[in-house]
Amino acid sequence: MAMESRRLPYIWSSARWEADAIAAILKKKSMHVDETSLQVEGKKQWIHVYASGGITLKFLHRKRGKEAIVGVDIIPKYGGVIIHDCWALYLSYDHCGHGLCGSHLLRELTFIVNSNQYSWAHNMKKLLLENCRIVAGREDKCLTEKKYANL
């Protein structure tokens, strides 16, 4: 008996995937955002990253600033909390909540500990790492209400 050829009802396209991913990320309570430079044909360009849960979107843009953020058009439409590196441009989006990225905080605290040996910075770094381990071990990747209140 010959195998019957069946047509797939829908062929997934990258444009459709991107639109669906953007729609999904806009519904998330929090989103991590960052940007980093790279050389493209000898010229500096920027990769803008938007991530939440299992979704990571990366967009290449020739600029780092407001032109790129408006061009990508995710943050201007977003109503949740953006987690970032405290770049002033992110903070200018006052329709969003804001949180500081733990990795960026750790980098700053490490510098303070290494250069000044301040005990408060060492203790803050220890607290941040301890809570990071707790969150990493939880399925929902969040502190419990009790742990958050104690923090």
Burial state string for 63-79 with b = 16 or more CB within 10 A and e = fewer than 16: ebeeebbeebebbeebe
Q: What is the pLDDT of residue 11?
A: 55
Taking the model in full, what pTM does it have? 0.78
Among the ranges 6-15, 27-36, 130-139, which has the highest mean pLDDT value? 27-36
Average pLDDT (35-46) is 95
The reported pLDDT for the residue numbered 10 is 55
- Convert the pLDDT of each residue in 68-81 to its tens digit: 999 999 999 999 99
Q: Where are the domains of the chain?
A: 14-100, 102-151
